[in-house]
Structure 1
Amino acid sequence: MLRSVSAVFALLSSLISSAAAQDVPRSSECLAMANAPPRAAPVSLRTVAAKTDEVAITYAGHSTYYIDTPGGVRIATDYNGAYRTGRLPDVVTMNRAHSTHYTLFPDSHIPIVLHGWGDDGQPARISLRVGDVFIRNVTTDIRRYFGDDSNAEMIKDGNSIFIFEAAGLCIGHLGHLHHKLDESHFAAIGRLDIVMVPIDGAYTMSLDGISDITRRLRASVVLPMHRFMTPLDEFMRRIGQQFEIDVRTERTLKISRDSLPGAPTVIILDGV
């Protein structure tokens, strides 16, 4: 079902106001909480989080997850138009490593389309609020060819790690990640409660490489994607015993700050 004219207008108005304020420093709760002293500043944030509703995260296919916020904003990650579920998204994010991660011709009824690469020769710089979600990105490089050949030509800032902040949760999508992250990347990402990681072991990164990043991020919930034929037990073996595994029979995870697992957990949704 298409969004009503008023709903689309409201979302576009939000985008316009956000774009107009691009030069104004944005406030990220995820960065603030990552940099705050333990058990100090987050007190008020925990109070806010306790009053929020759940976020619904649905696996659609390949690297596309749908994120539905309590305020009714629907986001689709690495959107190419092929993986759909429910109503049309309000916001789509894309990465251009391969055509399975983007489309230059998205449905015209999608109000907000965010490219993970720069369209003007500059890195993509995304920092905007749409309804009850704050969206930002951290750029990484991509290879021009498949495989883990470190000598392959790289496209600087061709991929984006997208971070969505809603309902007190910090949700990250690593996109089509091709290389290890350095300290500047981790600092720019901040704290993540939920992270979506590609586990194909070849077209993006080796399993050892993505496992190292997953351990370093230490999100409460890890949602695998871009799997192909990778044995799940092999991924679990490499990331270590500190991660629990939770295999679900449904495609949708409903979660809030209060319901995050106590130990880091890999949640395998149906279809992954």
Structure 2
Amino acid sequence: MPHLLLISLIAVVLAGFAVPRASMAQTQAPVSQCQMIARALPSVTFASFAAGSAVQVQARANEEVRITYIGHSTFFIETPAGVKIATDYNGWYKPPALPTVVTMNKAHSSHYTMTPEPGIEYVLHGWKDGSEKGADHDVVVGDTYIRNVPTDIRGWGGAMEPNGNSIFIFEVAGLCIGHLGHLHHELTEKQYGEIGRLDVLMVPVDGGLTMGAESMSRVVQRLRSSLILPMHRRGPPISQFLSMFGNGFDAVSDDDATMTVSIRNLPKRPTIHILSGV
């Protein structure tokens, strides 16, 4: 059976498991469409919808998610139901409105704050102090399912700390949006399986503070998301990161820090989209 047809059939089935959007409270264990579709195609290293087929199977496919680059590793995600999410939130880079949810990682103080504003309803740490198992988030907030995949982190002395970082994944409006955080190593097969499909990927391009450009590019190529949003650029020009990719990837620069994304307008080819401020 052709892969796109199989993806479509699986997505139709999964539509019955969609998380209700009206309630802010989680009443049942959420189901990850991004994981389940990817796992159904074990011979494929990525599972990203082509825009044409996705429109037919994704519920609320006409809904748009608004993404704004705030600075460093902080993006501000606004969902159709009004959930506001700030990634790697440190309190320095202020989004235009108070977030409903903030995610954090602890590599440096520029990726977290221990004194978030009292009005933030959900503060999700990408690490778990005193435990080698790592953080484990499965949270439904409005129309958004938020989960994480732990990764190891490099300590100040150079040794690796198990599960000290998290890749946060936001499933909303039929989209799978992933933020790599302060990723310090290439991913394992198990981690790729836990991540599943990612339509939008937020990736650090510092050239070495996280990983070298070549190692990071291998992660990006393996995930092969439709839309790649660079972040965390320190030192190296963005051209160094772009040079790691061949003709299979497009690249565009934007004069705006904000874009709207939906299943309908995902690029047909993997595209590195450089928002203003990066």
TM-score using structure 1 length: 0.86
Is 1:205 equivalent to 2:211 in the alignment?
yes
SS in structure 1 of the partner of residue 244 of structure 2: helix
Partner of 2:145: 134
From 4, 7, 32, the equivalent of 2:36 is 32
Q: Matched residue pairs, number?
A: 249
1:52-201 equivalence runs, <5 A: 52-121=62-131, 122-145=133-156, 152-201=158-207
Partner of 2:14: none
CA RMSD of aligned residues (A): 2.3
Partner of 2:253: 247
Deviation for aligned residue 1:186: 0.3
Is 1:271 equivalent to 2:272 in the alignment?
no
SS in structure 2 of the partner of residue 222 of structure 1: strand
Residue pair 1:52, 1:168 contacting (<8 A) in 2 also:
no
Residue pair 2:127, 2:134 contacting (<8 A) in 1 also:
yes
- Among all aligned residue pairs of Structure 1 and Structure 2, give the percentage whose two residues are the same amino acid: 49
Residue pair 2:65, 2:261 contacting (<8 A) in 1 also:
yes
From 47, 59, 69, the equivalent of 2:57 is 47
Q: Provide the rounded CA distance (Å) in 2 between the counterparts of 1:258 and 1:104.
A: 38
Residue pair 1:73, 1:130 contacting (<8 A) in 2 also:
yes
Q: Provide the rounded CA distance (Å) in 2 between the counterparts of 1:45 and 1:247.
A: 27
Amino acid at match of 1:75: I
Residue pair 1:78, 1:175 contacting (<8 A) in 2 also:
yes
Q: Provide the rounded CA distance (Å) in 1 between the counterparts of 2:61 and 2:250.
A: 28
Q: Provide the rounded CA distance (Å) in 2 between the counterparts of 1:71 and 1:78.
A: 22
Which consecutive aligned stretches of 4+ in structure 1 deviate over 2 angstroms post-superposition? Answer: 35-39, 42-52
Deviation for aligned residue 1:44: 8.7
Amino acid at match of 2:167: I
Amino acid at match of 1:256: S
Q: Provide the rounded CA distance (Å) in 2 between the counterparts of 1:224 and 1:47.
A: 29
Residue pair 2:61, 2:262 contacting (<8 A) in 1 also:
no
Q: Could you list the runs of 5+ residues in structure 1 that have no partner in the other structure?
A: 1-12, 147-151
Partner of 2:225: 219
From 259, 262, 265, the equivalent of 1:256 is 262
Residue pair 2:61, 2:174 contacting (<8 A) in 1 also:
no
Partner of 2:234: 228
Residue pair 2:64, 2:260 contacting (<8 A) in 1 also:
yes
Q: Could you list the runs of 5+ residues in structure 2 that have no partner in the other structure?
A: 1-22
User: Deviation digits for residues 29-65 of structure 1, max 9, x if unmatched?
Assistant: 11122123599xx979843345441000100000000
Q: Provide the rounded CA distance (Å) in 2 between the counterparts of 1:240 and 1:179.
A: 22
User: Deviation digits for residues 144-198 of structure 1, max 9, x if unmatched?
Assistant: 128xxxxx21111000000000000000000000011010010000000000000
TM-score using structure 2 length: 0.84
Amino acid at match of 1:131: G
